[in-house]
């Protein structure tokens, strides 16, 4: 089928019919180019939206304690439950692999803090390094609490933007000592938080430091963690519910709380908020899939139209060839061979131009809702292959009809 | 070489049927140069196209070199056309994007002959029709007479048993026509069987036998004293 002789014949036809080749190639190449750009922008839009709404994507779960509500195993109601470090260990041991970010938290609601003659009262939180991501605290200067701070209970703190403004004004806070409840701490970082002033009026330190310095022993106020983003809201919801019920049962058993008690162990879950996010990304995906499919369809229709025109234009030639002894399959082969070759080459050219454009122009368009537009190479290649195959299938019918036409009728054609 | 019996052909035009060939009987021996004469619309081309397997008869039998031509598949018809027949048309029917040489080589392509040999053979036929120097030219760079010479070379290239020519001089002036007829006579003198359709008396006189067609039947079929074309050039 793909003999050298046929190739020579095809190259001759391509070479001598430059306009036809150019028009076919051009429309295929632009079709693929548009498709690639569309897919790229679609992906970029999805990325952009995901970035914008990432806060909502995370299924953040917080576990905190209260007072028992019912009698259980001889213990009276009204008993206060207190989490310890080993409750956090229990979480990590049993569910560590399923969690995205996790931290134990100890909190002091008011901590008088001063630097030189300036002072203010801020919320103090003892946390683990992961907490930065749980809070989505972005570092403006320095760093967040790290593993070393936790391991050595260092007296390093990270302060909110608001705290920095009130205590330091425009001076550099890094490395400076501030006094919290009469104890000196060194500032190692400043963070900002999308939550605004309220969230930025906080001071973070390692939880081990806090427990030591403020006499909290092994106490923990709450366990805070997130579950990773899932394929769909339903999957996320199911995983979240499973984890929560298992964790609740474990913690209740550990603290001798009745399974029916609903005030001693409290779990708050933000998953309902994430439904909006999942719906939005699903819709964006769907939208661009539809546009992509529509443009692919348009491409296929375009290619088949070109094939129809080519066969029509070549009818007389087909008649001549048949009079000279061309078999029907050789006519079909000739037409398809040329069209597949031209579609494939120009398709890949369109693909490459599209990918290059996305590669170099893509990073320049970073608007709020489009970020990092790109196309998976596999998807792009598949599109070209689908288009070439579709073109071949669509081209087969006019080619076949051309091959079947009586030579005498084909010769009459002008 | 050619033997047809009781050949019928009608065309359907809407609801009506036009009976063009109404029982043709005739045969052609190897080496003959026959002209089929008749006024315009008498069915000459129809007959030739059936002989050339470009069209099919409704009724009757047709033997070509002892082979019965009947109910052919497209593939077999293509094979027969390729091996048995060479065509020359009034409008030349050269492929316009192929050079003279490539046009002549095309029947050989469909005989699966390799490129090198194709080109050599095609070149020798171009030499034979006196166009070796024009081998690389495209058809639209050639005069009408030259185009017809290329077409003749192409018809010869496949080494067919019979050459069928439909009004081969119809688009040419008389001097050129006679030159072409001279070439045809030469080829016939070498032993090739040739059928020429024409409505021009002078062209018919340059063949060796005239078959006269009228109203779908042969009214006259006689051998003649051939007029040499060269004498008229
Ligand atoms: N494909 C066709 N469909 C319908 N009528 C046709 C067709 N081909 C030829 N005819 C008619 O058949 C008759 C014979 O045509 P043709 O064989 O071409 O005549 P000639 O070659 O002798 O001039 C004419 O009347 C012509 O109009
Ligand atoms: Mg005619």
Helices (H) and strands (E) in chain B, counts: 7, 10
Report the nearest-CA residue for atom 27 of ligand 1: B41
- The domain in which residue B31 lies consists of 2-232
Separation in Å, CA A266 to CA A248, A249, A256, A271: 8, 12, 15, 15
Region of residue A204 (left: phi > 0; alpha: psi -120 to 50; beta: else): beta
Whole-number Å distance between alpha carbons of B168 and B195? 11
Instruction: Let me know: does B196 contact B190? Beta carbons within 8 Å.
Output: no
Neighbours of A217 (CB within 10 A): 10
In sequence order, which ranges of A125-189 are alpha helices (DSSP H)?
131-135, 147-152, 161-168
Closest CA to A179 of A124, A126, A104: A124
Percent of chain A with pLDDT over 90: 18
The residues near A71 (Cβ < 8 Å, ≥ 6 apart) are A77, A258
Q: Using a CB-CB distance cutoff of 8 angstroms, which residues of chain A are in contact with residue B54?
A: 323, 406-408, 411
For residues B220, B223, B224 and B226, what is the CA-based torsion angle, rounded to 10 degrees?
A: 130
Helix axes A271-313 and A315-323, enclosed angle (nearest 10): 50
Calculate Rg over the CA atoms of chain B. 17
> Is the pLDDT confidence value at A3 over 80?
no
Question: Considering only A26-30, A95-99, A370-374, B49-53, which range has the smallest mean pLDDT?
Answer: A370-374
Instruction: Let me know: does A194 contact A55? Beta carbons within 8 Å.
Output: yes
Work out how many domains chain B is built from and give that number: 1
The 10s digit of each residue's pLDDT in A110-147 is 888 989 888 899 999 999 998 888 887 788 889 999 99
The residues near B67 (Cβ < 8 Å, ≥ 6 apart) are B80
pLDDT at residue number A285: 76
Tokens 């999942």, residue located: A278
Handedness of CA B98, B102, B104, B108 (dihedral sign): negative
Whole-number Å distance between alpha carbons of B33 and A108? 118
Task: Using a CB–CB cutoff of 8 Å, tell me whether B111 touches chain A.
Answer: yes
Task: Using a CB–CB cutoff of 8 Å, tell me whether B52 touches chain A.
Answer: yes
Closest CA to A371 of A55, A40, A133: A40
> Is the pLDDT confidence value at B117 over 90?
yes
For residue A217 the two structure tokens come to 């022993």
Indicate which atom in ligand 1 lies nearest the CA of residue B197: 21
Apex CA B108: angle with CA B68 and CA B203, to 5°?
70
> Is the pLDDT confidence value at B76 over 80?
yes
Domain harbouring B224, CATH code: 3.40.50.300
Cα distance from B107 to chain A (closest Cα, Å)? Answer: 5
A86-105 per-residue burial string, b: 16 or more CB within 10 A, e: under 16: ebbebbeeebeeebebbbbb
Whole-number Å distance between alpha carbons of B214 and B196? 16
Whole-number Å distance between alpha carbons of A254 and A259? 11
pLDDT at residue number A54: 65
For residue A82 the two structure tokens come to 């207190």
Whole-number Å distance between alpha carbons of A27 and B89? 37
The residues near A340 (Cβ < 8 Å, ≥ 6 apart) are A388, A391, A392, A395
Neighbours of A132 (CB within 10 A): 22
Confidence category of residue A55, pLDDT binned at 50, 70, 90: low
C-alpha neighbours within 13 Å on the C-beta side of residue A359 = 8
> In this structure, what DSSP letter does residue A216 have?
-
- Which residue of A lies nearest to B45 if distances are taken between CA atoms? A408
Tell how far the Cα of B151 is from the centroid of ligand 1, in angstroms. 23
The 10s digit of each residue's pLDDT in A224-259 is 988 888 878 888 888 888 988 898 888 888 888 888
Cα distance from B32 to chain A (closest Cα, Å)? Answer: 22
> Is the pLDDT confidence value at A330 over 70?
yes
Q: Using a CB-CB distance cutoff of 8 angstroms, which residues of chain A are in contact with residue B102?
A: 12
Tell me whether residue B95 is exposed, middle or buried, using C-beta atoms within 10 angstroms of its C-beta: 0 to 12, 13 to 18, 19 or more: buried
Q: Are B81 and A320 a contacting pair at CB < 8 A?
A: no
Whole-number Å distance between alpha carbons of A125 and A221? 10
> Is the pLDDT confidence value at A337 over 90?
no
Between A300 and B186, the higher pLDDT residue: B186
Ligand 1 pocket (Cβ < 6 Å) reads B 11, 13, 18, 20, 38, 40-46
Tell how far the Cα of B43 is from the centroid of ligand 1, in angstroms. 6
Helix axes B74-84 and A315-323, enclosed angle (nearest 10): 60
Between A54 and A261, the higher pLDDT residue: A261
> Is the pLDDT confidence value at A412 over 60?
yes
For residue B32 the two structure tokens come to 């003959």
Neighbours of A19 (CB within 10 A): 7
Task: Using a CB–CB cutoff of 8 Å, tell me whether A17 touches chain B.
Answer: yes
The residues near A12 (Cβ < 8 Å, ≥ 6 apart) are B97, B98, B102
Confidence category of residue A215, pLDDT binned at 50, 70, 90: confident
> Is the pLDDT confidence value at A56 over 60?
no
pLDDT at residue number A287: 83
Tell how far the Cα of B80 is from the centroid of ligand 1, in angstroms. 24
Q: Are A411 and B81 a contacting pair at CB < 8 A?
A: no
Tell how far the Cα of B140 is from the centroid of ligand 2, in angstroms. 24
Mean pLDDT of A174-192: 91
> Is the pLDDT confidence value at B16 over 80?
yes
Closest CA to A145 of A198, A136, A155: A155
Q: Are B93 and A316 a contacting pair at CB < 8 A?
A: yes
Between A390 and B5, the higher pLDDT residue: B5
Confidence category of residue A193, pLDDT binned at 50, 70, 90: confident
Instruction: Give the closest ligand to the alpha carbon of residue B19.
Output: 1
Whole-number Å distance between alpha carbons of B28 and B211? 11
> Is the pLDDT confidence value at A366 over 80?
no
In A20-94, which ranges are E strands?
Answer: 59-65, 83-84
- Which residue of B lies nearest to A5 if distances are taken between CA atoms? B115
C-alpha neighbours within 13 Å on the C-beta side of residue A251 = 32
Task: Using a CB–CB cutoff of 8 Å, tell me whether B81 touches chain A.
Answer: yes
Select from B74, B111, B154 the Cβ nearest to the Cβ of A328. Answer: B74
The residues near A102 (Cβ < 8 Å, ≥ 6 apart) are A91, A92, A96, A128, A130, A134, A223, A224, A225, A226
Question: Considering only A40-54, A136-150, A351-365, B128-142, which range has the smallest mean pLDDT?
Answer: A40-54
pLDDT at residue number A314: 85
Q: Are B98 and A12 a contacting pair at CB < 8 A?
A: yes
Task: Using a CB–CB cutoff of 8 Å, tell me whether B115 touches chain A.
Answer: yes
Task: Using a CB–CB cutoff of 8 Å, tell me whether B154 touches chain A.
Answer: yes
Give the DSSP letter string of A316-377. Answer: HHHHHHHHTT--HHHHHHHHHHHHHHHHHHHHHHHHHHHHHHHHHHGGG---SS--S----H
pLDDT at residue number A57: 58
> Is the pLDDT confidence value at B73 over 80?
yes
How far from chain centre, in Å, is Cα B121? 20
How far from chain centre, in Å, is Cα A372? 11
Tell how far the Cα of B41 is from the centroid of ligand 2, in angstroms. 7
Identify the H or E element spanning A267. strand A265-269
pLDDT at residue number A414: 65
> In this structure, what DSSP letter does residue A97 have?
G
Task: Using a CB–CB cutoff of 8 Å, tell me whether B12 touches chain A.
Answer: no
Mean pLDDT of A318-331: 91
Indicate which atom in ligand 1 lies nearest the CA of residue A409: 1
Whole-number Å distance between alpha carbons of A133 and A60? 11
Whole-number Å distance between alpha carbons of B91 and A411? 10
Tell how far the Cα of B179 is from the centroid of ligand 1, in angstroms. 29
Report the nearest-CA residue for atom 16 of ligand 1: B43
pLDDT at residue number A236: 86
Whole-number Å distance between alpha carbons of A200 and A146? 19
Task: Using a CB–CB cutoff of 8 Å, tell me whether A239 touches chain B.
Answer: no
Confidence category of residue A75, pLDDT binned at 50, 70, 90: confident
Q: Tell me, what's the ipTM?
A: 0.93
Mean pLDDT of chain A: 85
Mean pLDDT of A176-182: 90
Percent of chain A with pLDDT over 70: 96
pLDDT at residue number B233: 66
Confidence category of residue A96, pLDDT binned at 50, 70, 90: confident
Indicate which atom in ligand 1 lies nearest the CA of residue B42: 22
Per mean pLDDT, which of A38-42, A347-351, A390-394, B185-189 is the most reliable? B185-189
> Is the pLDDT confidence value at B22 over 60?
yes
Confidence category of residue A17, pLDDT binned at 50, 70, 90: confident
For residue A404 the two structure tokens come to 């079947």
For residue B6 the two structure tokens come to 């009781």
Percent of chain B with pLDDT over 90: 82
Q: Using a CB-CB distance cutoff of 8 angstroms, which residues of chain A are in contact with residue B49?
A: 408
Whole-number Å distance between alpha carbons of A344 and A365? 30
pLDDT at residue number A368: 65
pLDDT at residue number B203: 93
The 10s digit of each residue's pLDDT in A279-299 is 887 788 788 778 877 877 877
Report the nearest-CA residue for atom 24 of ligand 1: B41
- pTM across the whole model: 0.70
């Amino acid at each position: 089928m793909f003999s050298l002789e046929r190739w020579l014949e095809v190259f001759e036809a391509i070479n001598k019919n430059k306009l036809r080749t150019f028009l076919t190639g051009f429309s295929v190449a632009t079709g693929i180019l548009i498709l690639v750009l569309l897919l790229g922008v679609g992906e970029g839009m999805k990325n952009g939206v995901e970035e914008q709404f990432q806060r909502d994507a995370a299924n953040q779960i917080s576990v905190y304690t209260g007072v028992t509500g019912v009698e259980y195993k001889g213990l009276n109601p009204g008993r206060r439950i207190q989490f310890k470090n080993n409750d956090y260990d229990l979480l990590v041991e049993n569910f560590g692999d399923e969690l995205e970010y996790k931290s134990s938290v100890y909190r002091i609601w008011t901590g008088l803090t001063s630097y030189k003659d300036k002072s203010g009262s801020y919320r103090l939180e003892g946390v683990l390094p992961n907490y930065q991501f749980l809070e989505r605290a972005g570092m403006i200067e320095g760093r967040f609490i790290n593993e070393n701070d936790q391991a050595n209970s260092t007296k390093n703190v990270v302060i909110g933007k608001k705290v920095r403004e009130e205590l330091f004004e425009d001076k550099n806070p890094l490395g400076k000592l501030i006094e919290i409840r009469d104890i000196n701490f060194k500032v190692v970082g400043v963070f900002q938080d999308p939550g605004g002033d309220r969230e930025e009026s906080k001071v973070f330190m390692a939880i081990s430091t806090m427990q030591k310095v403020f006499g909290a022993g092994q106490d923990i106020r709450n366990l805070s963690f997130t579950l990773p983003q899932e394929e769909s809201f339903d999957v996320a919801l199911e995983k979240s519910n499973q984890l929560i019920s298992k964790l609740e049962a474990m913690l209740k058993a550990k603290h001798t709380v009745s399974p029916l008690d609903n005030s001693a162990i409290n779990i708050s879950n933000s998953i309902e908020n994430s439904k909006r996010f999942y719906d939005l990304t699903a819709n964006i995906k769907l939208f661009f899939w539809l546009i992509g499919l529509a443009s692919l369809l348009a491409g296929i229709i375009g290619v088949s139209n070109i094939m129809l025109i080519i066969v029509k234009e070549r009818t007389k030639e087909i008649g001549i060839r048949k009079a000279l002894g061309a078999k029907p399959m050789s006519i079909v082969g000739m037409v398809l061979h040329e069209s597949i070759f031209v579609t494939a080459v120009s398709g890949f050219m369109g693909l490459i131009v599209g990918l290059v454009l996305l590669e170099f122009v893509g990073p320049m368009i970073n608007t709020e809702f489009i970020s990092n537009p790109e196309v998976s190479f596999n998807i792009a290649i598949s599109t070209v292959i689908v288009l070439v195959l579709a073109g071949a299938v669509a081209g087969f019918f006019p080619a076949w009809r051309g091959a079947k036409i009586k030579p005498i009728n084909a010769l009459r054609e002008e | 070489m050619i033997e047809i019996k009781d050949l019928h052909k009608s065309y359907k035009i809407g609801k009506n049927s036009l009976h063009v060939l109404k029982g043709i009987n005739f045969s052609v021996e190897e080496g003959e140069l026959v002209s089929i004469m008749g006024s315009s619309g008498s069915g000459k081309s129809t007959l030739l196209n059936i002989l050339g397997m470009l069209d099919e008869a409704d009724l009757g039998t047709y033997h070509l070199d002892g082979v019965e031509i009947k109910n052919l598949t497209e593939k077999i018809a293509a094979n027969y056309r390729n091996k048995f027949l060479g065509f020359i048309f009034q409008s030349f029917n050269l492929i316009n994007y192929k050079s003279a040489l490539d046009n002549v080589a095309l029947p050989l392509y469909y005989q699966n002959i390799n490129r090198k040999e194709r080109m050599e053979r095609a070149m020798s036929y171009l030499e034979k029709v006196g166009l070796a120097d024009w081998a690389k030219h495209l058809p639209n760079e050639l005069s009408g007479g030259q185009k017809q010479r290329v077409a003749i070379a192409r018809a010869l290239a496949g080494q067919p048993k019979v050459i069928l020519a439909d009004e081969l001089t119809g688009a040419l002036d008389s001097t050129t026509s006679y030159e072409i007829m001279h070439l045809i006579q030469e080829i016939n003198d070498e032993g090739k069987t040739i059928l020429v359709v024409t409505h021009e008396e002078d062209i018919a006189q340059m063949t060796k036998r005239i078959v006269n067609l009228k109203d779908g039947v042969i009214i006259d079929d006689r051998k003649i004293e051939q007029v040499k074309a060269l004498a008229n050039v």
